[in-house]
Amino acid sequence: MKKTKTNWLYSQIVKEHFLNPKNVLWDEKNYQADGKGMAGNPICGDVMMVCIKVDLKTQKIKDCKWRTYGCGAAIASTSMLSVMVTEKGGMTLKKALNLKPQEIIKRLGGLPVLKFHCSVLGQAALKEAINDYFKKQKRKK
């Protein structure tokens, strides 16, 4: 049988984050999140949960864990999102709320047009987690 080279439809960065995802939430029961958000798309079946821990003084995201049920692009998008919001000491909540799906796609080295929604879902789950954090903070004051 002749061996043929198969083309990977995604960038090497997407492939890396799919095969070796970063910051996956393996133990939800014992993870004490400051904020938790969910987003899903019933058409494609992708569902994402994002959990964050926030530094109270700086209002920066100090930790971001996630769990995604979906395709490779959905997993890679959420993995990259978690890296982006925690790198360099963490992203401020204000900046994280304004994070655009296009920024995630750019860091991934691109996604096929039909997979754009994967980055949108991750960003939506992050916004839900931040809003959950704000709600909890108001209750604590």
What pTM, to 2 d.p., does this model score? 0.87
Q: Flag whether 58 is in a domain.
A: yes
Q: Flag whether 61 is in a domain.
A: yes
Which pLDDT tens digit goes with each residue over 20-42?
999 999 998 999 999 999 998 76
Q: Flag whether 17 is in a domain.
A: yes
Which CATH number characterizes residue 57's domain?
Answer: 3.90.1010.10
Domains identified in the chain, total number: 1
Among 51, 64, 71, 118, the active-site one is 118
Q: Flag whether 74 is in a domain.
A: yes
Which pLDDT tens digit goes with each residue over 43-82?
777 899 999 999 999 999 999 999 998 888 889 999 999 9
Which pLDDT tens digit goes with each residue over 73-114?
889 999 999 999 999 999 999 999 999 999 999 999 988 888
Among 44, 51, 64, 71, the active-site one is 44
Determine the Cα–Cα distance for residues 130 and 52; give it in Å rounded to an integer. Answer: 8
51 is catalytic: no
Q: Flag whether 109 is in a domain.
A: yes
Q: Flag whether 134 is in a domain.
A: yes
Domain interval for residue 39: 13-140
Count of beta carbons in the 10 Å neighbourhood of residue 107: 16
Structure tokens at 98: 């304004």
pLDDT of 8 reads 57
44 is catalytic: yes
The contacts of residue 51 (CB under 8 Å, 6+ apart) are: 25, 28, 31, 33, 35, 36, 37, 64, 65, 66, 129
Q: Flag whether 41 is in a domain.
A: yes
Q: What's the gap between Cα 119 and its chain centre?
A: 8
52: helix, strand or coil: strand
pLDDT of 133 reads 97
CA distances from 123 to 2, 47, 128 (A): 43, 12, 9
Determine the Cα–Cα distance for residues 18 and 72; give it in Å rounded to an integer. Answer: 6
Q: Flag whether 8 is in a domain.
A: no
Residue 11 DSSP label: -
